[in-house]
Amino acid sequence: MKIRSYEISDEAEWLKCRVLSFLDTSYYNDVLTSRERYSSDAICLVAEERGRIIGLLDAEIESAAGSLCVAGTECGAVIWHLAVLPEYRRQSVATALWNEAAKQLKERGIRYCEVWTQEDEPANRWYQRQGFSNLKEHNWLRCYAHVSQRQWFLKEENVGEIYGVEEMVFEAPTSRKEELAPHCSQIIEVRLYAKEL
């Protein structure tokens, strides 16, 4: 396995790796059709084996403290994407990607990193093993409303003429989980993890 910088020619393989890696997680519906471009400096890495991208990590670096990170006091970085193909999990691919990213962040004077993840316990345990801590005061809920409960969330007369609501996804504080549960088909806790490098 080789860890290297992302190249523009990797885009199709990067997208394929990301979607296949997310299929068995709570991010299964977070599908991209093109790779994001970052307005700030970023460390973009891929893990490659026999010409195939098997893992990826993108970490964007703040241009000013607080422009991306929500809890840091100095300029930091945010991991936007970290994915490993299912058949390559438990082979230290994510750890190798993170170790290289952390090394490059330190070389650039960055000593703080955040990442948002959801309730997928293997991912949460992995971040914890790497030394990230959950900053619970910043966690929030992603709620998928039952269509039949849309009146509870919306007053349709305020929306104007529409043809119906097929899906409603919204964010809420974690303290409202019990209140929202009867009205939602799915509630996912989105968690912030952070680490001093």
Residue 194: exposure state from Cβ atoms within 10 A (0-12, 13-18, ≥19): buried
pLDDT of residue 142: 87
pLDDT of residue 148: 75
Alpha-carbon separation of residue 129 from 65, 104, 105 (angstroms): 26, 20, 19
Residue 125: exposure state from Cβ atoms within 10 A (0-12, 13-18, ≥19): exposed
Spatial separation of the C-alpha atoms in residues 26 and 169, rounded to whole Å: 14
Domain boundaries along the sequence of the chain:
2-136+192-196, 140-189
pLDDT digits (tens, 9 = 90+) for 155-170: 665 555 655 556 778 8
pLDDT of residue 180: 87
Provide block-wise average pLDDT over 10 residues at a time, the chain (197 residues).
97 97 92 94 97 97 95 96 97 98 98 96 96 95 79 63 65 90 88 92
Helix (H, G, I), strand (E, B) or coil at 44: strand
The answer as to CATH 3.40.630.30 being correct for domain 2-136+192-196 is: yes
